[in-house]
Amino acid sequence: MKIAVTVNGTREEWDVAPAETLLDALRDHGYRGAKRVCESGECGACAVIVDGLAIDACIRLAAQSDGSQITTVEGLETADGLHPVQEAFTANGAIQCGFCIPGMVVTAANYLEMNPQPTEDDIRHVFIGNLCRCTGYKKPVEAVLASVSEEVGRRED
């Protein structure tokens, strides 16, 4: 079946199978930032923003997204550079293997739109749906806090 979606500002027409997930459709169309990890909505590595809300693309059918506005991790960067969350993840040593990172960054960026001044506890709870096996979550949580603090910038020791 044919669907029309807007991905990172570009309108696209896709031919999708009825059972195809949004994650598979995105990856098939070259948006490979979202990762396939559990395919059951448990880990958040496939998170993308659909019509303003971060969701797990592996448990949504592509067909349900007809007419949707989708932002993937590839769409967070603008002509002005990295999104502040991406900047902070980079600067704060929050990235290890990076497989969970697109999902974390998308989730955090979306959450900050709704709550621009979160506490550490807020962020820890937002990340409940984003499993990471590498970082122990400390530096990612600190990175999100850093991205909204006055001085986004490099710590240098």
Partner 1 sequence: MKTELSMVGRRAPKIDAVKLVTGRATFTDDVEMRGLLHAKVLKSPHAHARILSIDTSRASEIPGVHAVITHRDVPRNPYTSAGQSWPEPSPYDMYVLDRKVRFHGDAVAAVAAETPEIAEAALEAIGVEYEELPAVTDFRQSMGAGAPIIHDEPESYGIYDASRNIAAHIDVEAGDVEKGFRLADVIVENEFDVQYQQHTCLEPHVTIAFLDEDRRLVLRTSTQIPYHCRRMVAFALGIPVRNVHVLKPRVGGGFGNKQEVVTEPIAAVLAMKTGRPVKLEYTRADEFTIARNRHPQHITLKTGVRRDGSIVANALSVLTNTGPYGTHALTVTGNTGTKPLPLYRAANMKFYADIVYTNLPIAAAFRGYGAPQGFFAMEVHMDEVAEALGIEPLEFRRMNHIRVGDTDLMSAAAGEGAGKKPRVIHSCGLPECIERGAEAIGWYQKRGRPGDGPIKRGVGMCILMQGSGVAGDELAGAALKMNEDASFNLMVGSADIGTGSDTSLAQIAAEVLGVPLENILIKSGDTDDISFDYGAYASSTAYITGMCVLKASEDARQQIVAAAARMMDEDPEGLLVHDEKVTSLSGKSVTLQEVALECLYGESKTVIIGKGSHATKESPPPFVAMFAEVEVDTETGQVRPVEIVTAVDVGRAINPDICEGQVEGAVAQGLGYALTEEILVDADGRVLNPTFMDYKIFCAADMPTLTTILVEAEEPTGPFGAKSVAEIAINGPAPAISNAIYDAVGVRLHSLPMTPEKVLAALDCRGER
| 132 in contact with ligand FES (CB under 6 A) | yes
Cβ 112 vs Cβ 118: under 8 Å: yes
Please name every residue paired with 50 in a beta bridge, in sequence order, or none if there are none. Answer: 53, 70
Beta strands (DSSP E) in the chain are 2-7, 10-15, 47-50, 53-56, 69-71
Q: Minimum distance between the CB of residue 121 and partner 1, rounded to whole angstroms?
A: 8
Residue among 99, 145, 148, 152 that touches partner 1 (CB under 8 A): 99
**Beta strands at 47-50 and 2-7: parallel, antiparallel or unpaired:** unpaired
Element (H, E) at 22: helix 22-28
Q: Minimum distance between the CB of residue 124 and ligand FES, rounded to whole angstroms?
A: 15
Q: Which is nearer to ligand FES, 42 or 151 (CB)?
A: 42
* Residues forming the site for partner 1 (CB under 8 A): 30-40, 42-43, 45, 72-74, 76-77, 82, 86, 89-93, 95-102, 105, 123-125, 127-128, 130-141, 154-157
